[in-house]
Amino acid sequence: MTDRRRFLRNAVLAMGGAALAGCDAISQSDTGAKVLDSAEGVTRRVQRLLSPSTALAKEFTEADISPVFKANGSTLPDTPEYQALMRDHFAGYRLDVGGLVARPAQFSLDALRALGTRTQITRHDCVEGWSVIGKWTGTPLGAVLDHVQPRPDARYVVFHCFDHIEEDTPYYESIDLTEARHPQTLLAYALNDATLPVANGAPLRLRVERQLGYKHAKYLRRIELVDSFARIGEGRGGYWEDNGYEWYAGI
Ligand SMILES: Nc1nc2c(c(=O)[nH]1)N[C@H]1C(S)=C(S)[C@@H](COP(=O)(O)O)O[C@H]1N2
Ligand SMILES: [Mo]
């Protein structure tokens, strides 16, 4: 448990749960009700109470950048679809954004760049216990959402990836709209001023800097706005969540 986690848990105990009574939209759906019941839901809600939704993850300087940015999990998706795109240096890549949006769209990497760009030097913390600092450049996810216009019933952003860890179980992840609109949440296409390497998720991967490594979906294939992730994968909001990890992986 990180110091922050421990601190949050103590904060929950100190408040006796009373401060959590003013529930928001999360209690309105079946999935939300389940999340709220769990300790994890409490952690997330306390974290939101203690740090405003706009709080930034720490940013570092050029001098702090790790000499090598370790790659983890999938490092070379083997599906024919991905292999074909890779052979062509991703020239034919299009990110499909759909689901509960007014204007579904497909974006080339140039189209994404045209929506806006941000660079940040941040620390990546893997649940396995290692960290690396890297410089990321990408399009703020908020700018993409502004373009596709989520419908009022949209609550989560789901990231479908090209790779799978087990046969026929594609990697996927999800975050809520608050996290999606956070200024440091990027669809990143560059690492340390170079085109994103295949091992780190080319051509496009998520950066969601206030959460652990497994939330940062690599090899983005499709983004889907949903009102619940109950019917996606095994229903827990991500590949690793379906295998027991927490959905809100706050650092
Ligand atoms: N599509 C996909 N995304 C993924 C993974 C993966 O296996 N597949 N692994 C996750 C884990 S556990 C970590 S720590 C980071 C690793 O990112 P890196 O390879 O750039 O270090 O990617 C995350 N995103
Ligand atoms: Mo990880």
CB of 163 within 6 A of ligand 1: the answer is yes
**What does each C-alpha distance from 206 to 60, 141, 158, 161 come to in angstroms?**
19, 9, 11, 10
Whether residue 86 sits in one domain with residue 134: yes
Whether residue 115 sits in one domain with residue 8: no
Angle between helices 3-15 and 39-50 (to 10 degrees): 90
How large is the average pLDDT for residues 192-207? 98
Residues whose CB is under 5 A from ligand 2 (ion)?
A: 126, 213-214
Bond from prior residue into 52 cis (ω within 30 degrees of 0): no
Residue 248 counted as domain residue = no
Residue 251 counted as domain residue = no
Residue 228 scores a pLDDT above 80: yes
Whether residue 195 sits in one domain with residue 89: yes
Indicate the top mutation candidate among 163, 187, 218, 239 to test ligand 1's pocket, ranked by most ligand atoms within 8 A of CB: 218
Residue 208 scores a pLDDT above 50: yes
Residue 188 bridge partners (DSSP): 138, 205
Residue 84 counted as domain residue = yes
How large is the average pLDDT for residues 53-57? 85
Whether residue 24 sits in one domain with residue 138: no
Whether residue 23 sits in one domain with residue 129: no
CB of 138 within 6 A of ligand 1: the answer is no
Q: Is the dihedral of CA 113, 226, 157, 233 positive or negative?
A: negative
CA of 84 to the centre of ligand 1 (A): 21
Whether residue 195 sits in one domain with residue 73: yes
Residue 18 scores a pLDDT above 60: no
Round the CA-based radius of gyration of the chain to a whole number and report it: 18
pLDDT at 11: 43
| 84 vs 50, more confident | 84
Whether residue 178 sits in one domain with residue 77: yes
Angle between helices 30-37 and 39-50 (to 10 degrees): 90
Please give the residue range of the domain that contains residue 140.
57-243
Taking only the tens place, the pLDDT of each residue in 158-193 is 999 999 998 889 999 999 999 999 999 999 999 999
Whether residue 65 sits in one domain with residue 3: no
Q: Domain end: 50, 76, 91, which one?
A: 50
CB of 66 within 6 A of ligand 1: the answer is no
Taking only the tens place, the pLDDT of each residue in 211-221 is 999 999 999 99
Q: Domain end: 30, 50, 70, which one?
A: 50
CB of 161 within 6 A of ligand 1: the answer is yes
Q: Among 25-29, 108-112, 127-131, 213-217, where is mean pLDDT lowest?
A: 25-29
Whether residue 102 sits in one domain with residue 31: no
Atom in ligand 1 nearest the alpha carbon of residue 205: 3
Atom in ligand 1 nearest the alpha carbon of residue 134: 20
CATH number at residue 62: 3.90.420.10
Residue 250 counted as domain residue = no
pLDDT at 48: 67
CA of 163 to the centre of ligand 1 (A): 10
How large is the average pLDDT for residues 205-227? 98
CB of 174 within 6 A of ligand 1: the answer is no
Whether residue 143 sits in one domain with residue 81: yes
Whether residue 138 sits in one domain with residue 109: yes
Whether residue 188 sits in one domain with residue 121: yes
Count structural domains, the chain: 2
pLDDT at 10: 44
| 172 vs 29, more confident | 172
